[in-house]
Chain A
Amino acid sequence: MHTVIIGNGISGTTAARFIRKWSDHPVTLISSESPYFFSRTALMYVYMGHLRQKDTQPYPPDFWKKNRIHLIQAHVTSLDIAHKLLQLDNGQSLAYDKLVVATGSVSNFFNWPGQELKGVRGLYSLQDLEYIETYSKELTHAVVVGGGLIGIELAEMFHSRNIQVTFLVREKSYWDHVLAPEESAMVNRHIRENGIDLQTETSLKAILDDGKGQVKAVLTDTGETIPCGFVGITAGVRPNIDWLKTSPLEIERGILVDAFLQTNIPDVYAIGDCAQLRQPQPGRQAIEAVWYTGRMMGETLAYNICKGPLAYNPGVWFNSAKFFHLEYQVYGQVPASLPPDQDTLYWEHPDGKKSIRINFDKSSQAVTGFQTMGIRFRQEVCEKWLANRTPLDEVLPKLALANFDPEFYRRYETQVVQLYNHRFHKNLPLQSPRNILDKVLQFLKN
């Protein structure tokens, strides 16, 4: 049974690895982007000179041969469902028994006038990075459009090369449809502290031509013209499925899949950024374009193919990011605006660079989400509290168990508990055990 996987990103690669782990079926992994799987999330570090491209490859080149995962570097141009055949851009065709579509995303472009000019590009692929690299040599000013996670990374990249950055964000405050106002404000401050010209409530209207097909400036909806040599478009991503639109696969925004990651066509599956769940779990999105879900889908699918039906269950939501030097972690649901049945406990350090937020249910007191800035929390501990719907009164005294900051770091659980006691007129104690790791592991086991 030959499984062919289109896309060697995290989801496709994870599927291939686990299929190999659990079976002897032949596996073929196709990608046009790069011969070997690399970490897309590390693209920025390659640009900034922290890493070389090969350092972003989690497995050495001989790994694939050793594990009998057949690699093809080519672009799949069309899909013949009836004959179970793929057409490649190198003229060859490839037969499959099971097909996994893991083609990831592409950058959104919203038909701005001038978006086809030279010096306008998104950041998603290796080729994008190379393109940006060639433009960086002479660059003095760049505009980044769109305030998401990739936009801020692009801003940081340019900043590291001392290229002036104007960062256009449509929202009132950076990423404020995801972050609560306090955290969003904190990130705003940090962006500006780094010398980035952050312009909120500003959208791109048009990109101006210098007469030679090259970008020379952007025009914003506030009427301003900002001269620049490069425009980075980071207004989100969408599933990379345009080439499948004419195929019998059912597609909405992404390829529709059921709980077992199966499409409407037998033996064809979709995972990762390009897959859209028909029935996402409560509180979850139909498309979650993040690393972690891609990995979980890949593993779940391999299980389905090799061992038997297993519904995709991403568990408790989590995510993390780094805004310049500001680390961010979230576990559970911490929406930008609080639902009426929930309350939030938010503590912020006076330096404005660290915070801890715990959301909880007003009636049952059960914790519903943890979000930290500048402080690391332990996923397994938070996950357990969230899964068990543990009341806040029980969580807070043990908050030290959740801390994951390096040794010798200052700890702030006392302040959080004090804040809580003060606000709710309670008298919760704080346990500060000495051998924390032992306590954590005991807690996780029970």
Chain B
Amino acid sequence: MRSPHTLQKTIGTFAVITGLALFTASLGLNSFSLREKSLQTHLNNDYHYEMVAPFAISMLDKTYSNSLTFNRDLHQVLKQGQEAIRQDLEQNKGLGPSDETYWSMVMQDYVVRSVKLPITREAAQGFLSDHAGMTGGLALILVLLGSFLLYFPIWKQLPGIDNTGVFSSPLKSRGWSGILLGSYLILFYLILYFYPQHLVNWMIIVDPISYRLNNGPASQWFLYGLLYTFVILVMGLRMILKYRHNAYQIWRTASVMFFQTCFAFILPQLLAWLNQPAPDLKNIWPLDYSFFFDYRLDEMLQSGTFGLFLLFWGIALTLIGVPVFTYFFGKRWYCSWVCGCGGLAETMGDPFRHLSDKSLRAWQVERWLIHLVLIFAVVMTIAVVYTYLPKQGSGLTRSVFFSISSAVLLFAMGFVWFLNKKIKAAIPRRALLIGTFTGFAIIGIGTWGIMAEKEYLFWVQDYQLRSWYGFYVGSVFAGLVGTGFYPLMGNRVWCRFGCPLAAYLGLVQRISSKFRITVNGSQCISCGNCSTYCEMGIDVRSYAQKGQDIVRSSCVGCGICAAVCPRGVLKLENGSHDVYQRTQQTRAIHISETEVTLLN
């Protein structure tokens, strides 16, 4: 039988898809013709401009119907110019790769990459530029109206858990529409990170908002931030509607909506307007992996008191904020209440949470991968700061910095060993040994590098480490896979397998936190709702049916397992007593305390 809301939902779906299609199509609604001045301004180097300009003549009187063909030719022009510069330097100026001036005069690849976007932007003209507001507005209205029609029927249902049809919906169970949506998202990230010049029409559409917030045109990051915030707000409202009977879900969703809108989006815009460094104040290293990169350190160190505050704030969040808050509330304080990645996962990702892989294999992969990323982030950051600092002098020199880092690492490792003893070896011995070995390896190799007076701490250029990390972890993993794979592998792929901050928070949660999920005696009926809807792929049921409280480093405390449990078996709680007794396997079935001892 059809639902009474079928028609409404069909119209809603249609409106959302039309809105999205219109928005997507708007990327093709401009034509492009190269402006000579753009080339000059953005190359920002008279010599380069002089050498490139002759090749650009053929483009000047042409109008391209889309950014693809325009950029194909622009790329040609830049490449030809680059080659001409090289030849000029080598043949006419007699310079070669061994000269220092040679490197300062060639046109580097990154220049070729980065000038395309601004040049394309200025080349854009035509229907979309003339009707940006109308096109964007129409798409927006369609999406909003459609979402309303789609989600308002939830309001008409009685409040309560309703996952009806989740596994028969192709969108939510990797059917054709799920795969389509996943592909769309992956494509979007691909273009956003690597070919943003094809998104200029969208930037033109959101320009007026950008001017209002930061008094400048929209960059691709502004565009992304705006879309991101929009999605979190719309899908956040849906989340609140869906779980309106559940105060924990309401508060936590409102919280991620707030942090995304104010901290991640608006505040940085205003700071940028004031010509201040404009970081996302709630983004914590090592998730904010570029926090200690030279240009960010420079920016903070050159911005007076406010800059110093930012530096202090960032370091304090990492070294004090994370352990302290996590001790009291578990990692959920960040992952499910504050974080932007978590915010998207919990709102837009909610319809996909059951797609997380629950297999043992996935868990094994997860434990290796996420900790490897953490190690990568730590090594990279130490290397980057090392290179940033002076070799000699008073104050913070390279070797002083490395000593401090080593001390922090040693302290952390010692602390873990100490705690592990106190809590009766809750951490598997193997993990402990591998972790310790890695810590000593970092310290050892680093020290060796210093002794051998290597320019680069770990024998690799820090620049190389940075670009690897930025590409593989920052772009591909966090964006492309992290979000693009929502409809394919669930909403927390990044948080579970890749986020170094989650790894760090998880370590603290595992060894020293009041947070656990308590299990209500023996009320579990092993139905499997909790495990199925756990976005982190935790087999919650395997604990619940044994009456065993749950402390898992990966648990982000979303509270969904407790929400979907039809027997009220699970509760997210903070308390310092008996964690490691109540998480023992032997608590088993005869749940009253006396019987437990019997069955030990």
Contact = CB atoms under 8 A, between A and B. Distances in A.
Q: Do A and B come from one complex?
A: yes
B1 A139 contact: yes
Interface centre among A14, A51, A291, A327 (most CB of B within 10 A): A51
Contacts of A407: 247-248, 559, 571-573
B592 A316 contact: yes
A58 B526 contact: yes
Contact of B559 (A49, A383, A406): A406
A380 B571 CA distance: 14
Q: Is the interface of B mostly helix, strand, loop or mixed?
A: loop
B590 A437 contact: no
A230 interface: no
B108 interface: no
A49 B577 contact: no
Interface centre among B169, B576, B592 (most CB of A within 10 A): B592
A178 interface: no
B167 A50 contact: yes
B575 A58 contact: no
A295 B160 CA distance: 29
Contacts of B338: none
A325 B542 contact: no
Nearest to A291: B525
Contact of B166 (A50, A56, A322): A50
A108 B595 CA distance: 35
Contacts of A139: 1
Contacts of B522: 292, 295, 318, 379
Nearest to B525: A41
B520 A376 contact: yes
A295 B522 CA distance: 10
Contacts of A318: 521-523
B1 A51 contact: no
Contact of B521 (A48, A303, A379, A408): A379
A435 interface: yes
Interface in A297-327: 299, 303, 313, 315-316, 318, 320-322, 324-325, 327
Contact of B163 (A50, A387, A408): A50
Interface string A409-446: 11000000000000000000000000111101110110
B385 interface: no
A404 B571 contact: yes
Nearest to B359: A60
A162 B167 contact: no
Contact of A299 (B165, B582, B588): B588
A194 B577 contact: no
Interface stretch (B20-28, B387-395, B561-569): B561-569
B4 A437 contact: no
A58 B541 contact: yes
B529 A406 contact: no
A49 B167 contact: yes
Given A318-B521, A383-B592, A406-B246, A49 B165 contact: yes
Contacts of A404: 520, 568, 571
A85 interface: no
Interface string A20-47: 0000000000000000000101100100
A279 interface: no
Given A48-B164, A51-B528, A325-B158, A442 B1 contact: no
Interface residues of B, number: 62
A295 B163 CA distance: 28
B158 to A, nearest CB: 6
Nearest to B578: A441
B575 A438 contact: yes
A370 to B, nearest CB: 12
B441 interface: no
Contact of A438 (B165, B246, B576, B595): B576
A190 to B, nearest CB: 8
Given A49-B164, A299-B589, A437-B575, A39 B526 contact: yes
A48 B164 CA distance: 5
B575 A380 contact: no
A325 B159 contact: yes
Interface string B134-170: 0000000000000000000000001111011111110
B591 A322 contact: no
21 contacts: A14-B589, A39-B528, A41-B526, A42-B528, A45-B529, A48-B165, A51-B527, A56-B528, A163-B1, A194-B158, A296-B589, A313-B590, A315-B590, A315-B592, A325-B245, A327-B568, A329-B567, A379-B521, A383-B521, A406-B247, A406-B571
Given A380-B591, A437-B574, 4 more contacts: A10-B526, A55-B531, A164-B1, A303-B599
Task: In the A-B complex, list the 5 residue pairs whose CB atoms are closest, starting with the nearest.
Answer: A379-B521, A325-B160, A437-B575, A42-B527, A376-B568
Interface of A: 10, 14, 39, 41-42, 45, 48-52, 55-58, 60, 139-140, 160-164, 193-194, 291-292, 295-296, 299, 303, 313, 315-316, 318, 320-322, 324-325, 327, 329, 376, 378-380, 383-384, 387, 404-410, 435-438, 440-442, 444-445
Interface of B: 1-4, 158-161, 163-169, 245-248, 250-251, 359-360, 518, 520-523, 525-529, 531-532, 541-542, 545, 559, 562-564, 566-568, 571-578, 582, 588-593, 595, 599
